[in-house]
Structure 1
Amino acid sequence: MLFCNTVPIVIFPPEIICKCMSTKHQMEQRQHCLAITKVEGIRTFLSGTLRLIHLLPSTAVQYLNYFRQEILLPVPPPTTSTAAGTTITSNTTNNNKYNCIGKATCSKEIKVGMRPRDFIQMGMALTAAVIILYIAINPPQRAWKEARKLRNFFGSSKQDQNFQETPKAIHYKCGLPKQCPLDHFAFHILSGAANVIGPKICFEDQIIISSAKNNIGAGLNIVLINGETGKTLKFDSFNMYSGKVEDLLKFMKDVKPGTIALVASFDDPGTKLTNEARDIFVKLGSSMIKSVGFRDSWVFAGAAGIAQNSPFEKHVKNEKEKNVYDGWPEIVEVSGCFPRKR
């Protein structure tokens, strides 16, 4: 019990007991007061718990003794009457025994059984003991599983029987909705958003370029992959608004047959694209590169030497009436399983 201005204050909660210490000359004692209060609260809780645990065994033993203990109740001594010179002593009544040998008073031996209330009290005491023991030996994270086992033991409703734990979500490479078949590579390409959020290219569950990696740039972001091993050969970005298209041509010049090309646009991918540069992507399987223009959104996955148009390509034109962003169209993305070169 603590006092504040000679007025006792209950020890819970700490904010109440110590709010009186808000004046300037008492601020130094406030933290000490809070610490003492919390310690006292824990001590009181533990003390009460230990007292309950201590009383439960003695209470159980007390009730169990009813089964085997004979209770001696004091009773009056046997009556003795004298009539016409004859002494009559009565030492038994209703088949009950008296113990009067060598004693001034007698005791009556009575077999006492447990009353219904005694059974209830003993059951409550034992139940409390079991609950305390269960809480002590079982961690909280096991409580739900144990509760379900107990519910199933006593029977549950049809709805509960049909209940199943939510299965853990299965992660497939690059976030695809299913696993790719053998001899295929998983990939996911996401274009940039306006000139703010950069593109992202994932191949075989490895993020190759992204804003988080700080290795993207405005224009065309290109990654070249070995079509047999799936190893990243090289990647770079080429500014198609203020850069040189010759840098793009030089980068794509030595592409060998079977090499996989992954392309994502950011900001402006088409202003400086020449016919020569566009023909390179046509040979990789692109069917939309001819129409890619200023600030369009474009993503593409193809391979050198492909005999047909690639199905992995998306293109959205920059149209003022349809643009999602101010001056730029929406984000586009493409993903799937690219066949390995045989």
Structure 2
Amino acid sequence: MMVRAACNNFMKLGGFIFATVCAWYFGSLLASIIPEDSLASAFDDLQNIAEKPKLKAPLPKRLKCDHWSPCSPGSYAYRILSGGGQKSIAKICFEDQLLMSKESKNVGRGINVAIVDYNTGKLVDAKSFDMWQGAFSRPLADFVQKAPQKSLLLMVTYDDGSSRLMEDAKKAIADLGSKEIRNLKFRSSWAFIAAKGFELPADTQREMINHSDAKKNRYNGWPAEVQIEGCIPKN
């Protein structure tokens, strides 16, 4: 009995060794037949199957003039940003076109005015009027008064827009609907949009001003910038 049991154990051990050798042999043979890159690709595929699919959120769509919400079809988009400090330059954007800006090289110290044809949405003219140095109040008044009928006038300050601003220009701008033009102080930040020859919608944000105490703002002597933006229905 003991001899038979020993023989059985020996046969089991021999069978195990034989199976191990065969597995190693056939594994080596298979590896030599199948290219290494195919094995790596199969392994990667198994990993990809195991991974959960990743959902990527679509990038937010940029809106005209960097609006937060889109204008309805058939409307003009505008954004008027005053200067705020020496490095924060004023901008006037209309229908995603920078009509006046540092990039356009046509914005300057004082009051900046862009005139747009309401029927076409195209720029008619744009000029900067220095209210710190030189006599430009009368030219500003003339520029505003001679704007064609059915025009949009977009105005904004950079640096000082008040020191040499006289009654002639104040009256011309007040006649367009400005309620703050006579309240401008040294380096006040001011933005304004007006219509000539037609009426803007009643809910249009037309004007904003800031001449806060210089000691309470972040520009060390300059009031912070202001901006107005909105949508104007086309004809």
Task: Give TM-score, length-normalised by structure 1.
Answer: 0.55
Q: Which amino acid aligns with 1:213?
A: S
Query: What's the CA shift for 1:209?
Result: 1.6
Three-state SS of the structure 2 residue aligned to 1:262 is: strand
Q: Which residue is equivalent to 1:255? A: 147
Query: What's the CA shift for 1:231?
Result: 0.6
| Residues 199 and 216, structure 1, Cα contact 8 Å, conserved in 2 | yes
Three-state SS of the structure 1 residue aligned to 2:103 is: coil
Q: Which amino acid aligns with 2:23?
A: P
Query: What's the CA shift for 1:210?
Result: 1.3
| Residues 81 and 225, structure 2, Cα contact 8 Å, conserved in 1 | yes
Q: Which amino acid aligns with 2:209?
A: H
- The answer as to 2:12 corresponding to 1:118 is no
Output aligned runs, 1:72-83, within 5 Å: none
| Residues 141 and 173, structure 2, Cα contact 8 Å, conserved in 1 | no
Q: Larger relative CO (CA 8 A, sep 6+): 1 or 2?
A: 2
**CA offset digits 1:270-307 (Å, max 9, x no partner):** 22223342233333333322312211011122212436
Q: Highest Rg: 1 or 2?
A: 1
Query: What's the CA shift for 1:236?
Result: 0.2
**CA offset digits 1:141-180 (Å, max 9, x no partner):** xxxxxx7x8666x355xxx34x312313312211222321
Tell me how many residue pairs correspond in the alignment.
210
Query: What's the CA shift for 1:246?
Result: 0.5
Q: Which residue is equivalent to 2:38? A: 130
Q: Which residue is equivalent to 1:25? A: none
Q: Which residue is equivalent to 1:200? A: 91
Output aligned runs, 1:161-180, within 5 Å: 161=53, 163-180=54-71
Tell me which of 176, 184, 195 is aligned to 2:75. 184
**CA offset digits 1:92-114 (Å, max 9, x no partner):** xxxxxxxxxxxxxxxxxxxxxx8
Three-state SS of the structure 1 residue aligned to 2:216 is: coil
Query: RMSD of aligned C-alpha atoms?
Result: 2.7
Task: Give TM-score, length-normalised by structure 2.
Answer: 0.77
CA 1:251–1:131: 2 relative to 1, 3 Å: farther
| Residues 288 and 315, structure 1, Cα contact 8 Å, conserved in 2 | yes
Q: Which residue is equivalent to 2:10? A: none
CA 1:130–1:185: 2 relative to 1, 3 Å: same
Q: Which residue is equivalent to 2:126? A: 235
CA 1:201–1:117: 2 relative to 1, 3 Å: same
Quote the Cα distance in structure 2 between the aligned partners of 1:290 and 1:309.
23
Q: Which amino acid aligns with 1:186?
A: A
Query: What's the CA shift for 1:249?
Result: 1.0
- The answer as to 2:199 corresponding to 1:306 is yes
| Residues 195 and 218, structure 1, Cα contact 8 Å, conserved in 2 | no
Quote the Cα distance in structure 1 between the aligned partners of 2:147 and 2:153.
9
Q: Which residue is equivalent to 1:329? A: 223
Gaps of 5+ in 1: 1-113, 135-146
**CA offset digits 1:197-235 (Å, max 9, x no partner):** 421111111112211222111100110001111010000
Quote the Cα distance in structure 1 between the aligned partners of 2:67 and 2:231.
9
Tell me which of 183, 189, 197 is aligned to 1:297. 189
Q: Which residue is equivalent to 2:13? A: none
Identity across the alignment (%): 28
Q: Which residue is equivalent to 1:94? A: none
